[in-house]
Amino acid sequence: MSIEKDQNETVTGRIRKMFSLSEDSASYKEIRTRLLDGGQVTGTNMCVLVCAMVIASVGLNMSSTAVIIGAMLISPIMGSILASAYATVSGDYPLLRKHALGFGVQIVISVSAAMIYFFLSPVKEPTVELLARTSPTFFDVLIAFFGGLAGIIGQTRDDKVNTVVPGVAIATALMPPLCTCGYSIANGRWDMLLGAGYLFILNAYFIFLSAGIILSVLKIPKNKDITQKQWKILRWRMVRNTIIIALPSIFAVYAMIQ
């Protein structure tokens, strides 16, 4: 019995080691530097963001999947979400306000760039690619959540050559919904604006949520100690927000199945 118990514990230990996030994770200092640098709203990042928005808008306007994928690969917008998640988990609220504000600025500039393009574009009819971004369902929640998990794990591992984030950028698709919002405003398609805006919120929130979970598992150092009461309040708010944001997508899946 003792030998069998030892063997079971060995197998369990090996499985835990296989899925351990701390086995090859980078140092806390390196994680902080990577995430906060990626969330910087600088001249370079903003120029790249506008270029990515125009490229994505052209791809959506022409129904070119390859062009849309290219735009998602060069877009820096996901960096602000990961930086905000780091600030939340570390309890650094001034830092959170900074990156949340930067994220808001990125959204405004992105939608404005897309709106200007679609206002000037001679192609006014919505393409299949544009319409595809207006009907989010719970499947989009799963893609954003697990894509966010893969993205933050890739960003926090010791290997500096990160091959995960480009795939996550394609899967979670933050740029196309913003472009669709720009198209909707430019052409007065308010019905499309609602669906595209909701899809962007879904993707951004569940990337943020999954990043927060992984950073909590890695025990990121906190800027200040959080009391048990504060932690319970924060946890309840996260659960509440998750339910509120995900609920419409669940109804959408039900309606689709029916």
Q: Per-residue pLDDT tens for 125-176?
A: 888 988 888 888 888 888 888 888 888 888 888 765 555 666 666 666 788 8
Rounded alpha-carbon distances, angstroms, from residue 218 to 34, 162, 179: 15, 18, 35
Q: What domains are there in the chain, each with its CATH number?
A: 29-257 (1.20.1080)
Q: Could you tell me which of 68, 17, 70, 39 has the C-alpha nearest to residue 155?
A: 39
Distance CA 73, CA 114 (A): 17
The residues that bridge with 25 in the sheet, in sequence order, are: 157
pLDDT tens-digit readout, 175-218: 889 999 999 999 988 888 988 999 999 999 999 999 989 888 88
Q: Label residue 20 by pLDDT band (50, 70, 90).
A: low
Determine the pLDDT at residue 246. Answer: 86
pLDDT tens-digit readout, 8-17: 556 666 666 6
pTM of the model: 0.86
Determine the pLDDT at residue 208. Answer: 92
Residue with tokens 């080691």: 17
Residue with tokens 């393009």: 117
